[in-house]
A and B are shown apart, each in its own frame.
Chain A
Amino acid sequence: MKKRNLLLAALVLASLPAAPALAGWKLVPHAKPIAVAKGTLTVTPDADWNRWSVRPIKKGEVWTLDGTGLNEVYFVSGLIVGETLYRDADKKNRPLPTLTKGMTLTDIPEFFESSNRIALNTSLFTVTGVEPAKMGERDAVKFNYEYAVEGSPLKRRGMAIGSLSGGVLYLISYTAPATHFYEQNRAKAEAIMASAHY
């Protein structure tokens, strides 16, 4: 198997044990503001989450409640022009799109969709709703999506919020299996998004 983006390998294959005691995962306590993804994006979760020590990209960070296969939050803080949303693991054959100059809020769902289709190697990815939102004081876009990885019967659902300031991207996404798990923890993910500012 080709070396892939670690995040996506986790998305596709793994349901990692998330006991904080295990190497690689660190507890994020609830009700305390915390800066994520080595940037200025700050959130205050209303539940205890687990942070993965592996960063899919320098400006990215992964959280889960009980395994990335069951629920996953991905943060990106401060992505600039020319950078990719995930690690550009197969740049030669399947390059990910890069953030381009002049992007506006409506471009964020398109950028997210294309990045995911390529990284997950699937055509079964649909954006199901796009609406205006706020990230702190700033204008943002909120969108929903669904996808299945090729060859797998499992459907996943997600929502994301993205904001741009001076061409720099801040994004939070929440992804979980569509049946049961998505709804189960949606409120906790929404609490993170509602608390976000940068």
Chain B
Amino acid sequence: MALLARSLRIVLAALLVIQPVLVETARAQEAAAQPAALPVAEEETYKPVDKDERGLWMDTEEGERQLKASQQVIRDPALNAYVRKVLCNLVGQGKCTSIRLYIVRTPDFNASMAVNGAMVVYSGLLLRTQNEAQLAAVLGHEYTHFAGHHGLRMFRQVKEKSAAAAWLAFTGIGLIASFSMAASLFSYSRDMEREADSGGLALMAAAGYDTREASKVWEQLRAEMDATAAVRNTKSRKDKNGGIFATHPPTAERVTNLAQMATANPGVAGATGLDSYSAAMGHWWPVFFDDQLKRNDLGASDYLLAALAQQGWSPWLLYARGELYRRRALGNDIADAEKFYSQGIEAGGELPELWRGRGLARLKLERPEDGKTDLNEYLRRSPDAVDKAMIAMMAGETR
């Protein structure tokens, strides 16, 4: 939604400045009198019909140009090819070729699709969907918004309501940054959300996925929000609209509706695409989790690790768990962290940071000799580490 929201701001701001109020009111009435008649099947060839829409398209394209140049876009060809493959399976090769896909590195759960066919997938989404079917559920949902011209309809509604003032609140720091701000002001209608849920689920079924995975995406999000709240000793935000989830509240109603739809249209039972998903994410999960880990949300991070560990605690998952506890450092956390690193090493882990983490933990646990041995092992395995000088000092070596 970032592209669209930003564009709305610019377009509407321009309208406010240039147009006297009366003219704008007249335009709004005109728009209200002529309900949108939008082509549905040929979405990728849709052309803006009036000046405002042309402005919207131009701004969206400008936004996409900025996004293209952003350091935040993950350009790894293998990861992009995989997500595109899932998307193309869903919407068909013909429609898929015109979609530009951008995977951006940011730890929030999100995906969006702009009116001009630019799709944005956050790395935080890829960390949270647990298999290919779940990813397909979200991509199908966003594609349905796009194919149904929901963004364009919202744009027209906003114009009609002259709710433009709200958009002036934007500061436009940047394309991605504006998203979280946009989210609190901008959301699809409930009807559009229902349409996107059912449309997405139909695409999933047609592509041969187990459609029960769709409701699980939102169930997992709710559970994660509970986990965050439990550790912070606050109230769970799962039933609260607003914040980053304003555009897509993970309501209990949504979970129930999706589960019912899945019963009616099950797709292929058991076809979750778990193996292909794990293979595609294997290299990236540690990176995405590291971003999550540094957000200081122990509840959610712990929840996500447990979810990733459903097929067993691999060495990197044990490492990540050790890092999580070592960084929190409350109560028995350091001792627990030491145990997790040890388990990772015993499970055959080869990541040098396993020894770094355990060495630092052991120093704090007043086991200096063991700690130094581990730190030296870390340096042996990772001689070019960015912190080699500091660790060498702690390991008691002469530099």
By CB atoms of chain A within 10 A, which of B169, B180, B393, B394 has the most?
B393
Count of A-B contacts with CB under 8 A? Answer: 107
Find chain A residues with CB under 8 A from B174 CB: 149-152
Whether, in the assembled complex, B296 has its beta carbon less than 8 Å from a beta carbon of chain A, the answer is yes
Chain A 95-118, CB-CB to B under 8 Å as 1, else 0, gives: 111001111111101100110011
Count residues on chain B whose CB falls below 8 Å from chain A CBs: 42
Residues of B within 8 A of A149 (CB): 173-174, 177
Whether the pair A131, B329 counts as a contact (CB closer than 8 A) is no
Please name all residues of chain B whose beta carbon is closer than 8 Å to the beta carbon of A114 when the two chains form the complex. Answer: 294-296, 327
In the bound complex, what is the Cα–Cα distance between A94 and B108 (angstroms)? 12
Residues of chain B in range 149-180 having any CB-CB distance to chain A below 8 Å: 169-171, 173-178, 180
At the interface, yes or no: A124 with Cβ under 8 Å from chain B? yes
The answer to the question of A165 belonging to the interface, with a C-beta cut-off of 8 Å to chain B, is no
Query: Which residues from chain A contact B329 at a C-beta distance below 8 Å?
Result: 100-103, 107
Do B176 and A150 have beta carbons less than 8 Å apart? yes
CB pair B386 A127 closer than 8 Å: yes
- The answer on a CB contact under 8 Å between A130 and B71 is no
A106, B391: Cβ atoms under 8 Å?
yes
- A149 → chain B closest CB, angstroms: 7
A171 at the interface (CB under 8 A from B): no
The reply to whether B389 and A132 form a contact with Cβ atoms under 8 Å apart is: yes
A135-164 residues at the B interface, CB under 8 angstroms: 141, 148-153, 155
Question: Min CB distance, B17 to chain A, in Å?
Answer: 20
- Kindly state whether residue B336 has any CB partner on chain A within 8 Å: no
Residues of B within 8 A of A104 (CB): 360, 363-364
Q: Does B390 contact A130, Cβ atoms closer than 8 Å?
A: yes
Q: For residue A166, which residues in chain B have a CB less than 8 angstroms away from its CB?
A: none
Complex-state Cα separation, A92 to B178, whole angstroms = 20
Whether A95 and B291, one on each chain, are in contact in the complex, defined by CB atoms closer than 8 angstroms, is: no
- Shortest C-beta distance, B282 to chain A (Å), equals 19
Residues in B356-399 with C-beta less than 8 Å from chain A: 360, 363-364, 386-387, 389-391, 393-394
Which B residues are CB-close (under 8 A) to A96?
296
Taking CB atoms, residues of chain B closer than 8 Å to A150 are 72, 106, 174, 176-177
Query: Which residue among A106, A128, A150 has the maximum number of chain B CB atoms within 10 Å of its CB?
Result: A150
A139: nearest chain-B partner, CB-CB: B393
| A155 → B minimal CB distance (Å) | 7
Is A130 a contact partner of B107 (Cβ separation < 8 A)?
no
Which residues on B are within 8 Å of A, measured CB to CB? 66, 69-72, 105-107, 123, 169-171, 173-178, 180-181, 232, 234, 243, 291, 294-296, 327-330, 334, 360, 363-364, 386-387, 389-391, 393-394
Between A and B, 13 residue pairs with Cβ closer than 8 Å are A12-B173, A94-B296, A101-B329, A103-B329, A106-B391, A118-B294, A118-B295, A124-B72, A125-B294, A148-B71, A150-B176, A151-B178, A153-B70
